[in-house]
Structure 1
Amino acid sequence: MPASAPPRPSPAAAAAAKPKSAPQKAMEKLGLLRDIDLALHLPLRYEDETQITPIGRTREGDTVQCEGEVIECRIETRGRRVLLVRLEDETGDLLLRFIHFYPSHQKSMAVGQRIRVRGELRHGFFGREMVHPTFKAVQPDTPLAEALTPVYPASAGLPQTYLRRAIASGLQRADLRELLPQGTVPSSLPPLRDALNFLHHPPPQARLGTLEDHSHPAWQRLKFEELLAQQISQMQAQRERALLKAPALRAKPGGLVERLLAVLPFGLTGAQQRVSEEIAQDLALGQPMHRLLQGDVGSGKTVVAALAAAVAIDAGWQCALMAPTEILAEQHFKKLIDWLEPLGLQVAWLTGSVKGKARQKMLDAAASGAAQLVIGTHAVIEDKVTFARLGLAIIDEQHRFGVAQRLALRRKLASMDLEPHMLMMSATPIPRTLAMTYFADLAVSTIDELPPGRTPIVTKVFADGKRQDVIEKIAQEVAGGAQVYWVCPLIEESEALDLNNATETHVELVDALPGFEVGLLHGRMPPAEKAAVMARFSSGEMSVLVATTVIEVGVDVPNASLMVIEHAERFGLSQLHQLRGRVGRGAVASVCVLLYTGPLSDTGKSRLRAMAETNDGFEIARRDLDIRGPGEFMGARQSGAELLRFADLQEDSLLLQAARRLAPQLLDKYPEAAQRQVARWLGSKAEFLKA
């Protein structure tokens, strides 16, 4: 019996099996997968190819389009090979200079060929010239473009011509029907399809200024749509969360909370008492708490977290505390063990460096419920880590975690059809506009009072030329018994950044400070070695600690009164503020020295100026938002999802307010339209907004 022929693949399967071209792969990398993705991939800028400027009327510095006949085409080989093409029209001639070229260039621009070129005009030794202009062969009757030519964000392997064709095609196919009921869109804004067609292909008379600063009504429509989808998603998350169940956690009279307060070696500030009560009220409810505890560096968030944990444990449930680095997790571990173990509680320690039998012991303690508190790093959310009764999850420095990681921690109680309460902590205060937008369903508690005894920190900014003066100052300080941090941004040589690394600085300071111990701490050291170095510095045996940003958060050495941050221009503003907060923890007046290497960018100048002008974490956060946008506050960067592409929180506050008013109306009266709006604009990113 003859073998039957194999079934022929379907056209779709055949297309899927076909290897992808470089441009297709580049488009996938940019997230250009759906027609709507292509329609929403908007130009960075525009080129005007709608008119020809006679060569004789061009002016130096102008970017113009000219057309003429090639009268000379030759390769010059003095020094490096250069293709020189002379173009002529009835008003004058123009030299085109190509340093990088192919044989096809010579064919396209052979003598006698008519070509159209576009580039920046300059005056060279041989008169008017353009270097590497765009060009194409034309006929005398070849029509001009009817709209401005878009220039899109692209990447290597993705030519503009390919991208323009793909976007024009996607724009035609995309479903751009109006989803919003009539009368709900501000009357000053155009229909969505009109807005997108205009932005992709603006007419020659369009005012480029309003396109480039995104103030044109077409841009405003896109921003409104995006903000509306985001607000709907947030309000939806808030409503869904209100339907979820969580364990009701109430402290017992005379129980663990009161016993903890009795053993603390200090009294609570008024702000700490207030936020502790806010958290306790949330925990007592049968729905999941979703609260952000924010307070400036050194305001005492750890003790508030300990009191929240005590409430959960007193009610018979477990608590997990997750920190972004092992050093910070260990700092919490030491404090909480000191406070809680004398009260008879078992605290488990879980990080990537805990291995073998020790790790299994911790896992068993969490799974059985023997460990009432589990402290660690990302290891806490691994699938193998199970809890008997996880009632409260505390995440420190929440902006350092991806929202996907926060979602994973929330799922630890899914088997009981419950959610743990969630307390997120941050020493990077959230500006009000950001809280309104990204944290619409988040309750915020603020510790706005520093514990007594904290001294203000004086910040000084010096160019790197003053380095030796700074080292001499350090020698005086350590001779008087002070301790010093010196922070470096790199730990090994980099060809891209000409910076002194931590190792070199360590050697330099060892030589400059004979008789004093100078330690080195960086991220690649084994955990045990890091712990040993930190212990010597904390105990006062070590005078100077040269470190990378592993000491950014949580490290508490009251005797350290001088902080030097080398190449301060390389750090973000909130990171500089966090680092500065490592000093000023004792009664001694403290100084933070910012050493920079010029020339400074405008952003670098803004950061250093802000640091010198204020110690207020809220003001620092506001300026930081102005400088770098909202991504990192959310932890959005780690999720891979840029949550706002078009709108700007500061500039578009009126649109945001309009979206906030409309979102609940749509959810109540037009739920299907609301769902379609979220799907179109956010897709899978909506899940991240619920974290």
Structure 2
Amino acid sequence: MKSAAKPAVQRAAGRPAARAAGSKGASAADHAKRFERLGLRRPEDFVLHLPMRYEDETQVTQIGNLLPGQWAMVEGEVLRCELAFRPRRQLLAAISDGSGELALRYLNFYPSQQKQLAVGKRMRVRGDVRGGFFGIEMVHPRATSADVPLPNALTPVYPTTDGLPQPVLRRAIGEALSQVSLSDTLPDALRERLHLMPFDAAVRILHAPPPDVVVHTLVERAHPAWMRIKFDELLAQQLSLALARAGRLEKQSPRLPRKAGKQTVSARLLAALPFGLTGAQGRVVDEIATDLARPHPMQRLLQGDVGSGKTVVAALAAAQAIDNGYQAALMAPTEILAEQHFRKLAGWLEPLGISIAWLTGSLSAKAKREATARVEDGSAQLVIGTQALIQQNIQFARLGLAIVDEQHRFGVGQRLALRSKGDKDQAVPHQLMMTATPIPRTLAMTFFADLDVSVIDELPPGRTPVVTKLLSDARRDEVIVRVHEAARAGRQIYWVCPLVEESEALELQTAVDTCEALRVALPDLNIGLVHGRLPTAEKAAVMSSFTKGEMEVLVATTVIEVGVDVPNASLMVIEHAERFGLAQLHQLRGRVGRGANESVCVLLYQTPLSMIAKQRLRTMHETTDGFEIAQRDLSLRGPGEFLGARQSGLALMRFADLDADIELAEHAHEAAAWLQAHHPDAVDAHLARWMHGREDFLKA
């Protein structure tokens, strides 16, 4: 491919800008800044800036055949053109082609436009047709002389930004197409096997489709040209992940083998646990133990449904690092979750003589200094906390294992920052990432292909299935009666609300108001309130009271989504359930059913429900399988919920749809391995075209 020299981008941005309609006064530098905003830096970037839709300017529609709501181009004689001042200043015109009359209206206009639409001139206008007060009209249509030849291809409409007109983009892209080599990066054998069209042909069709193309195949991205582009994008991502994995294997990490003997921390922890590991937990512990014994960094994703027992697996991994004389760190996204981990792990490990440090932003300056000193001198063998762990002034003495819980809530930079805390001896600590949001197979194969994945696919014995009920908000009084009955039977209840303060826009019941209303309706119950804006000490006191069973009802926002473990809580009410995503509803529901009692989750919803809200609630009613819920969530909302900030700085997928294009993704997955083994030069060329140095974002 030709060099991506900077002057070429400036030329592509500059020359068309001076000529483009609607770009008066805009300099090449102005347009270069706007191109940068769209991520268009190299000519190759312009080539891959593909249309989001098309307009058919190859044919003229008769005015008599126009329908409101359609986009069309018509040609006719200007019948009138005049200024009007009521209800506001505007330019009104009308044209006719003999089959009918079309009104034209401009609310903002230049004198040159009024001159252009002189009575008697034959003009072509194009735009969206709408029903007006006096018949059909176009508002702010584009107008050109009827003498201009009709184009012989559909007109592309590109994603753009303020101040960057379509003509500027089209000319810049056209110039880039003439500068850049469009030679194929795929060997012919691979292309032919997968029935993919050549890259050159695919790109040119998408930028300038011939008029005989089936338009809906372009709009729905089902045309063979789109299939080639989507495959190339998926392949680039697969190759990048493979490079990230290969790069990791070149780094050095401390060997942390599993120690033998009954006196090891691992053995004593297993013996002290009040329960046995499930078969799935035992398998996952062995997978992690094997990784830790290797001399290159473990990069393992531990996924398990709500309540499957990931914390004890993390504790055993930390114990293995401690047995080898290294520190372990566990970082959680919220203080409530971090504290939950601290309490549980301290209860298991401190009786074994393990020193644990607690480090969060809310600590007093003195407590923070003391915890930091213990981390730095190595006397703290396990460090648990929030993002405070990655502050610049924190340096571990000998970090061997970094554990990140709810990994999708952290950005790439944050995970890399924790891993860098062990770089003192040029050794990278092992990393274990945990998530209770099961990753659908599609995502595991695409965005997580660089990671080793362990799955806890078995719940501990004694966990009772949670019954999910859907109730309209009109039946709130019945729910309150059910809450009172559960409390009188010695059970505890969560009542979850989506907002803390009143929002007129969303009209949602707030946690504060709900708490007060429940206290009035249930005066004999102890009802507490917890939300993210409470002071840390107050939040901790409320949670402690509920955990100890001193409080029957806890009204909460989603701060209790993860980490809270109260086996006696057997009823959850989720207010405005239609406002939550599937993954969040599943996480919340996982707070009940943690004991032996039958548990119920009531989803209170307000009508009318959108189609997506109905699908979400139906899914929650039909299944408790986290993997099934995750797959449906991917179909409804796309990959963002699962990836979080993993792809920070990198578009998730501009062209491919991970739900619709699963077959293409599978082909790309196989092709990536084949190209690495047989055509390394093709790998380099493909990544140069598609990634251009952005692979670093995939390494965390």
TM-score (norm 2): 0.90
SS of 2:80's partner is strand
Among 189, 204, 208, the alignment partner of 2:215 is 208
SS of 2:388's partner is helix
**Where does structure 1 lack aligned partners over 5 or more consecutive residues?**
1-9
Among 629, 634, 639, the alignment partner of 1:625 is 634
The answer on 1:523 being equivalent to 2:532 is yes
The answer on 1:148 being equivalent to 2:157 is no
Among 210, 215, 224, the alignment partner of 1:217 is 224
C-alpha contact (below 8 Å) 1:347/1:375 kept by paired residues: yes
1:548 is aligned to: 557
C-alpha contact (below 8 Å) 1:321/1:396 kept by paired residues: yes
Q: Given residue 165 of structure 1, which amino acid in structure 2 is its aligned partner? A: R
Among 44, 47, 54, the alignment partner of 2:52 is 44
Distance 1:50 1:133, change over 3 A: farther
The answer on 1:130 being equivalent to 2:137 is yes
Q: Given residue 247 of structure 1, which amino acid in structure 2 is its aligned partner? A: P
Among 644, 654, 664, the alignment partner of 1:645 is 654
Shift of 1:520: 1.9
Q: Deviations over 1:267-288 (max 9, x none)?
A: 2222222221222222222222
1:366 is aligned to: 375
2:464 is aligned to: 455
Shift of 1:106: 4.1
1:347 is aligned to: 356
SS of 1:50's partner is coil
C-alpha contact (below 8 Å) 1:83/1:98 kept by paired residues: yes
The answer on 1:87 being equivalent to 2:95 is yes
Shift of 1:201: 1.5
Identity of aligned residues (%): 59
C-alpha contact (below 8 Å) 2:156/2:207 kept by paired residues: yes
1:239 is aligned to: 246
Shift of 1:23: 5.5
2:336 is aligned to: 327
Distance 1:565 1:640, change over 3 A: farther
Shift of 1:616: 0.6
Among 57, 75, 78, the alignment partner of 1:70 is 78
| 1:188-337 correspondence to structure 2 within 5 Å | 188-249=195-256, 250-254=258-262, 255-337=264-346
Distance 1:619 1:419, change over 3 A: same
**Where does structure 2 lack aligned partners over 5 or more consecutive residues?**
1-6, 15-25
Cα distance in structure 1, aligned partners of 2:113 and 2:572: 58
SS of 1:72's partner is strand
Q: Given residue 109 of structure 1, which amino acid in structure 2 is its aligned partner? A: L
The answer on 1:474 being equivalent to 2:480 is no
The answer on 1:576 being equivalent to 2:585 is yes
Cα distance in structure 2, aligned partners of 1:237 and 1:637: 13
C-alpha contact (below 8 Å) 2:78/2:94 kept by paired residues: yes
Shift of 1:316: 0.8
SS of 2:192's partner is coil
Cα distance in structure 1, aligned partners of 2:442 and 2:679: 27
C-alpha contact (below 8 Å) 1:331/1:554 kept by paired residues: yes
The answer on 1:173 being equivalent to 2:182 is no
Worse-matched range after superposition: 507-516 or 183-192:
183-192
Cα distance in structure 2, aligned partners of 1:496 and 1:174: 49
Cα distance in structure 1, aligned partners of 2:486 and 2:561: 22
Cα distance in structure 1, aligned partners of 2:541 and 2:27: 54
Taking only aligned residues, the RMSD between alpha carbons, in angstroms, comes to 2.7
Shift of 1:422: 1.4
Shift of 1:525: 1.9
Q: Given residue 361 of structure 2, which amino acid in structure 1 is its aligned partner? A: G
C-alpha contact (below 8 Å) 2:244/2:695 kept by paired residues: no
Among 573, 576, 579, the alignment partner of 1:564 is 573
SS of 1:285's partner is coil
Structure 1 residue ranges, 4+ long, deviating more than 6 angstroms after superposition: 10-13, 18-22
Q: Deviations over 1:365-407 (max 9, x none)?
A: 1111100101111221223221111111111111222233222
Distance 1:286 1:593, change over 3 A: same
Shift of 1:233: 1.8
Distance 1:488 1:228, change over 3 A: same
Shift of 1:181: 3.9
C-alpha contact (below 8 Å) 2:9/2:43 kept by paired residues: no
Distance 1:35 1:365, change over 3 A: same
SS of 1:183's partner is helix
Cα distance in structure 2, aligned partners of 1:106 and 1:464: 57
Cα distance in structure 2, aligned partners of 1:20 and 1:524: 48
Cα distance in structure 1, aligned partners of 2:576 and 2:110: 43
Q: Deviations over 1:242-277 (max 9, x none)?
A: 333222212231111111122222222222222212
C-alpha contact (below 8 Å) 2:53/2:157 kept by paired residues: yes
Shift of 1:613: 0.6
Cα distance in structure 1, aligned partners of 2:315 and 2:122: 78
Cα distance in structure 2, aligned partners of 1:12 and 1:191: 25
Distance 1:616 1:667, change over 3 A: same
SS of 2:76's partner is strand
Q: Given residue 320 of structure 1, which amino acid in structure 2 is its aligned partner? A: A
Distance 1:171 1:579, change over 3 A: farther
Distance 1:147 1:550, change over 3 A: same
TM-score (norm 1): 0.92
Cα distance in structure 1, aligned partners of 2:570 and 2:124: 67
